[in-house]
Structure formats: C-alpha cells, structure tokens
C-alpha cells in the first residue's frame, strides 16, 4: 500500500525550458506532485507519474559534463571498475552526453540513451549507441547482437523509470551469471536528513534507500554486495549488485553498516516522512521570508544554477521574478529560456555574473564546493549565497 506523506502542489515538467517565443504560445504542462511511501517495499515514489516520452526527448537539456565534480567522479569510478571487474562488455543505461563512457574503450562499451540529442553525441564519439528506452525489447536486441553483458552501469536513471520490475527483468535477461550491476542514485537517507525536498520532481520517480532497493531486488534474485557513499547530487549511494546464486563475490560489511544506519534513522517507517513533510512546509515559509526581507531592502537577488531541483522549490514556494531577478547557468540549452512554471529567465553564466549582485540563491547547492571555489572573488567582495538546505539561510 502506498501512503502519501507530501504534497508539493501543481508543478511543471522539470526539464522543459520554454523559450521567450514559446512561453506565451505553447501551453505549459503541469502535474500534481505528491510523494508516497510503500508500506511493503519501503520504497518512496511520486504518486502521479508523467510518461517517459514526455520527459526524455530530443530536447532533453541536462548534461552531466556541465560539472567538474561529475566528470571527476566518473573518471575515478571508471578507473576503479576497470581495475576491479575488468569488464568484457560495459553497458551504460542512460549514457547522457558520454561523460562516463568516454573513459571506456569503444569496442568494449555500449550506450543506451533515449534522448536523441545526447545519443547523437556518443554516436559521434564512436560509441555503439542504442537510442531507445531501456526495456525487454531492447535487452533482447542487444543480447542478440553482442551476447551477454558482464557489467551494467546506470547513474541517475533507474530511479527515473516507473516500472522497476520491468527494468530488473530486462537486466536479468542480459546480465551474465557472474555479471554485476552498478547503480547510483540520490540517497533517501541524505535527502530526508538535509531536507532536500527538491529531489522530488517528475523525473525522480523513486528515491532509493538501501532498504527499499534491497526489497525490490529480492524479487529478482539479485542482491547488493557493496555500497559506497558519494558526494554527488547532494549525497548519493553507489550500489554494487550481483545474482544471489553467485557465491564467488562476498558481501562487503558496508551493506550491513548502511542497513543499520537506515534502520536506526527509521527510513523504513512512515512516521519519519510525516515529520519530513512538516519540515518542508516550514522550509517554504522560511525561504520566502528571507527573500522578501532582502527584496524589501532593495537587494539584488539572482539564482545560481537552474537545476531541475530548483523547479520544485520555486513552484512550491511561489517564487517569481519579483523575488529572484533571473538565474545564471552554464548549460547551453537552458539559456534565454524560462524556469518551468515561472516568469524567471535563465541567462548565460559569465565569469563576472556575480558582479554587483548582493545575493544568489544556490539552485545547484549540490555543487556548493565547486561553485564557492569558482566565485571566491565575488564572495570576498560581499556577494552572499542563499540556500534552503539543511534549512533556509544566508551562507
């Protein structure tokens, strides 16, 4: 049974940025953002989903290569995988713009990416790229052409797919008996701990805890044998998964450690989420209060990093251009477009974007370290960042 614990209101599709021309011509699509807890599997998911085809298309703007932190994390990871697992054939589900796959040899790698704009990039780089959504038909097609795969990797993608049983069935079909599956996604424990309710939006259909993922995998005779904490996306977990019948790989103690940590926190209990919901409501009022106060004292406020996550915050907190003049972002496809559901425009990031700015709302709070380093000069001159995690404050 799925029990609702959070309502974030009527929300636009997070990565659908409208140009100035389209804004008043094309009607924006909205959905009701509600989050629930499955009492059986302990899985946290949004309750009303949007079809994949409406989200991941040829104009999908998100590019992993926009952050040095992500590129560095992918590079380190690929070195580790090659050393530890020596993959014969490495399959990436959701290869985006090739930020990870570029660390692997072309003849040993396969990309799966439904968004045509990104698939085009990895094709151009010379990688075998299947421009499809991950499902059984595709798994059959790949297995027929290339045989079984002994290493499957997927970052921030599996949680974007509604039917997890179908995903795992297709993975089971193509994975060799001693093969491994590695997935990484934001950690529910971190999300709840730091109050990052902006992790909830139409693309993030599920937010995994180790406990819920364990339950979902169990049905498919798969198990987690190692788990690593990552600093990406505000705190993620990288899960290493194998077939239960594969006894050659031992279960690392990190799995039990994370399990106990989550149990102690109560991530498998509904009452934690009810508490979280109250905190989110108070976060909304606090953030608005800070922005209104600064605006009333004639401060210039912009947004920094037009993340998909920010869409949830701005729409839930009813923040418009009366409070935040505009956002700056490095992603080419977001420039001169509106933040979904708002009248706030995104401008191209420039080295002096923070010149004469009093405050910048940190949309990309998950890259705080990288951004603070980059903007040291302006921070020293008095420009300040505003964040909503772990609670709304001026940094």
The distance of closest approach from Cβ of residue 56 to ligand TYD in the complex, given in angstroms and rounded to an integer, is: 13
x/- site string to ligand TYD, residues 6 to 45, per CB under 6 A? ----------------------------------------
Q: Judged by CB, which is closer to ligand TYD: 66, or 227? A: 66
Q: Judged by CB, which is closer to ligand TYD: 300, or 369? A: 369
What residues contact 367, with CB distance under 8 A and at least 6 apart?
A: 67, 69, 305
Give the 3-state secondary structure of residue 315. helix
Q: Judged by CB, which is closer to ligand TYD: 93, or 151? A: 93
Q: Judged by CB, which is closer to ligand TYD: 71, or 125? A: 71
Q: Judged by CB, which is closer to ligand TYD: 62, or 225? A: 62
Cβ burial, residue 189 (10 Å; 0-12/13-18/19+): buried
Please state, in angstroms and rounded to a whole number, the distance separating the CA atoms of residues 71 and 63.
Answer: 11
Please state, in angstroms and rounded to a whole number, the distance separating the CA atoms of residues 336 and 385.
Answer: 23
What residues contact 180, with CB distance under 8 A and at least 6 apart?
A: 85, 150, 151, 152, 240, 241, 242, 249
Residues in 150-209 at the binding interface with ligand TYD, rule: CB under 6 A: none
Q: How many residues bind ligand TYD (CB under 6 A)?
A: 18
Q: Judged by CB, which is closer to ligand TYD: 258, or 353? A: 353
CA-closest candidate to residue 238, choices 78, 358, 129, 30? 78
Provide the token pair at 158: 């599996």
331 makes contact with ligand TYD (CB under 6 A): yes
The distance of closest approach from Cβ of residue 145 to ligand TYD in the complex, given in angstroms and rounded to an integer, is: 32
Please state, in angstroms and rounded to a whole number, the distance separating the CA atoms of residues 135 and 43.
Answer: 21
The distance of closest approach from Cβ of residue 375 to ligand TYD in the complex, given in angstroms and rounded to an integer, is: 8
The distance of closest approach from Cβ of residue 354 to ligand TYD in the complex, given in angstroms and rounded to an integer, is: 11
Q: Judged by CB, which is closer to ligand TYD: 154, or 307? A: 307
C-beta neighbour count of 137 within 10 angstroms:
11
213, 308, 323, 386: residue in contact with ligand TYD (rule CB under 6 A): 308
329 makes contact with ligand TYD (CB under 6 A): yes
122, 129, 226, 307: residue in contact with ligand TYD (rule CB under 6 A): 307
Please state, in angstroms and rounded to a whole number, the distance separating the CA atoms of residues 269 and 3.
Answer: 11
335 makes contact with ligand TYD (CB under 6 A): no
309 makes contact with ligand TYD (CB under 6 A): yes
Residues in 277-306 at the binding interface with ligand TYD, rule: CB under 6 A: 305-306
DSSP string, 175-241: EEEEEEEEEEEE-HHHHHHHT-GGG-STT--EE--HHHHHHHHHTTTEEEEEEEEE-GGGSEEEEEE
Q: Judged by CB, which is closer to ligand TYD: 263, or 368? A: 368
The distance of closest approach from Cβ of residue 197 to ligand TYD in the complex, given in angstroms and rounded to an integer, is: 13
101 makes contact with ligand TYD (CB under 6 A): no
96 makes contact with ligand TYD (CB under 6 A): no
- Decide if 92 contacts 103 (C-beta within 8 A): no
The distance of closest approach from Cβ of residue 88 to ligand TYD in the complex, given in angstroms and rounded to an integer, is: 31
149 makes contact with ligand TYD (CB under 6 A): no
- Decide if 189 contacts 209 (C-beta within 8 A): yes
Helix locations, the chain, DSSP H: 20-23, 52-55, 68-85, 116-124, 136-146, 164-174, 188-194, 210-218, 253-265, 270-296, 308-316, 368-374, 376-380
Q: Judged by CB, which is closer to ligand TYD: 41, or 199? A: 199
x/- site string to ligand TYD, residues 52 to 81, per CB under 6 A? ----------x---xx--------------
* Backbone phi and psi for residue 223, each to the nearest 5 degrees, phi listed first: -145, 150
Q: Judged by CB, which is closer to ligand TYD: 225, or 338? A: 338
Residues in 336-375 at the binding interface with ligand TYD, rule: CB under 6 A: 349, 364, 366-367, 370-371, 374
How many Cα atoms occupy the beta-carbon half-sphere of 349 within 13 Å? 17
- Decide if 5 contacts 270 (C-beta within 8 A): yes
Q: Which residues bind ligand TYD (CB under 6 A)?
A: 62, 66-67, 305-309, 329-331, 349, 364, 366-367, 370-371, 374
């Amino acid at each position: 049974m799925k029990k609702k614990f959070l309502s974030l209101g009527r929300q636009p599709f997070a990565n659908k940025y409208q140009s100035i021309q389209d804004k008043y011509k094309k009607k924006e699509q909205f959905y009701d953002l509600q989050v629930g807890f499955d009492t059986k599997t302990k899985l946290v998911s949004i309750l009303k989903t949007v079809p994949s085809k409406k989200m991941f298309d040829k104009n999908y703007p998100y590019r992993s290569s926009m952050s040095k932190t992500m590129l560095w994390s992918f590079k380190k990871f690929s070195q580790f995988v090659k050393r530890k697992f020596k993959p014969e054939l490495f399959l990436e589900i959701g290869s985006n713009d090739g930020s990870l796959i570029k660390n692997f040899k072309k003849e040993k790698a396969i990309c799966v990416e439904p968004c045509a704009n990104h698939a085009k990039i990895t094709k151009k780089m010379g990688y075998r790229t299947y421009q499809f959504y991950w499902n059984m038909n595709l798994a059959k097609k790949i297995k027929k052409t290339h045989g079984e795969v002994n290493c499957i990797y997927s970052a921030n993608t599996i949680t974007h797919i509604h039917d997890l049983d179908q995903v795992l069935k297709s993975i089971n079909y193509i994975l060799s008996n001693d093969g491994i599956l590695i997935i990484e996604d934001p950690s529910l424990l971190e999300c709840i701990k730091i109050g990052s309710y902006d992790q909830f939006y139409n693309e993030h259909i599920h937010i995994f805890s180790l406990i819920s993922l364990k339950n979902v995998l169990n049905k498919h005779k798969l198990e987690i044998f190692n788990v690593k904490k990552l600093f990406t996306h505000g705190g993620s977990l990288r899960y290493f998964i194998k077939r239960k019948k594969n006894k050659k790989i031992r279960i690392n103690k990190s799995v039990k450690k994370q399990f106990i940590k989550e149990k102690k926190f109560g991530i498998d209990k509904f009452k934690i989420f009810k508490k979280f919901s109250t905190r989110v409501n108070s976060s909304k009022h606090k953030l608005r209060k800070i922005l209104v106060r600064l605006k009333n004292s004639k401060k210039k406020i912009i947004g920094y990093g037009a993340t998909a996550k920010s869409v949830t915050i701005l729409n839930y907190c009813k923040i418009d251009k009366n409070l935040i003049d505009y956002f700056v972002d490095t992603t080419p496809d977001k420039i001169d477009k509106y933040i979904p559901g708002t009248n706030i425009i995104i401008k191209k990031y420039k080295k002096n974007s923070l010149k004469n700015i009093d405050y910048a709302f940190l949309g990309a709070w998950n890259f705080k370290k990288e951004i603070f380093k980059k903007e040291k000069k302006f921070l020293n001159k008095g420009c300040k960042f505003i964040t909503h995690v772990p609670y709304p404050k001026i940094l």
